[in-house]
């Protein structure tokens, strides 16, 4: 743990993480659920710093089945995904609370929208600067370098 910056709160069996546990990654993403032989195993949830979550059934560290829920409550469904598609371009908050009056556009799902630094793009977990090719979180802390071929709107 000291090398990865992670934190484990839970039971051990034969020196391995096993049983009900909490595993906190250095990115502040937190796993709460069952562990077996040092891996996510059984039911568990990943909680992301932005407020979204991933509820899943895990087997030896791999997802068997899961559901992603955005911070605003919208659940991702690969088979019946009707959010912001070619038939309905409204944001989820507009679907829930209605459209703004004419002349008042909603440019993001957040209302009011967060202020995006000049020349940058909001990529969901921070701001991407195409000049530096760096993504910083919303508190201006380094998140990652952008990979080659990254697509930005």
pLDDT digits (tens, 9 = 90+) for 31-71: 999 999 999 999 999 999 988 999 999 999 999 999 999 88
Provide the mean pLDDT of the chain: 84
Q: Cα separation of 108 and 145, whole Å?
A: 24
Domain boundary among 46, 69, 92: 69
CATH code of the domain covering residue 56? 2.20.110.10
Confidence of residue 152 (pLDDT cuts 50, 70, 90): very low
Closest CA to 64 of 87, 95, 86, 42: 42
Residue 117 is assigned to a structural domain of this protein: yes
Q: Cα separation of 128 and 89, whole Å?
A: 23
Confidence of residue 7 (pLDDT cuts 50, 70, 90): very high
Note whether 62 and 18 are same-domain residues: yes
Handedness of CA 65, 71, 73, 77 (dihedral sign): negative
Residue 28 is assigned to a structural domain of this protein: yes
Q: Is the pLDDT of residue 85 over 70?
A: no
Helix (H), strand (E), coil (C) string for the chain: CCCCCCEEEEEEECCEEEEEEEEECCCCCEEEEEEECCEEEEEEEEECCCCCEEEEEEECCEEEEEEEECCCCCECCCCCCCCCCCCCCCCHHHHHHCCCCCCCCCCCCCCCCCCCCCCCEECCCCEEECCCCEEECCCCCEEEECCCCCCCC
Residue 138 is assigned to a structural domain of this protein: yes
Residue 24 is assigned to a structural domain of this protein: yes
Note whether 13 and 60 are same-domain residues: yes
pTM, two decimals, is 0.60
Residue 2 is assigned to a structural domain of this protein: no
Confidence of residue 148 (pLDDT cuts 50, 70, 90): low
pLDDT of res. 91:
74
Residue 98 is assigned to a structural domain of this protein: no
ω into 145 cis (within 30 of 0): no
Domain boundary among 69, 93, 119: 69
Residue 99 is assigned to a structural domain of this protein: no
Residue 86 is assigned to a structural domain of this protein: no
Full domain range(s) for residue 131: 104-147
pLDDT of res. 147:
65
Domain boundary among 51, 69, 87: 69
Task: Please count the structural domains in the chain.
Answer: 2
Chain-centre distance for alpha carbon 8: 20
Confidence of residue 153 (pLDDT cuts 50, 70, 90): very low
């Amino acid at each position: 743990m000291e090398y990865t910056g992670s934190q484990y709160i839970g039971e051990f069996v034969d020196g391995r993480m096993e049983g009900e546990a909490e595993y906190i990654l250095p990115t502040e993403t937190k796993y709460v659920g069952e562990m077996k032989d040092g891996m996510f195993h059984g039911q568990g949830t990943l909680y992301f710093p932005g407020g979204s979550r991933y509820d899943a059934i895990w087997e030896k560290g791999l997802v068997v089945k899961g559901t992603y829920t955005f911070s605003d409550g919208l659940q991702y469904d690969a088979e019946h995904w009707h959010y912001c598609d070619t038939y309905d371009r409204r944001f989820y908050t507009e679907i829930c609370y209605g459209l703004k009056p004419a002349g008042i556009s909603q440019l993001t799902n957040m209302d009011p929208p967060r202020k995006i630094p000049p020349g940058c793009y909001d990529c969901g977990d921070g701001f991407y600067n195409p000049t530096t090719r760096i993504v910083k979180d919303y508190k201006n802390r380094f998140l990652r370098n952008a990979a080659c071929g990254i697509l930005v709107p």
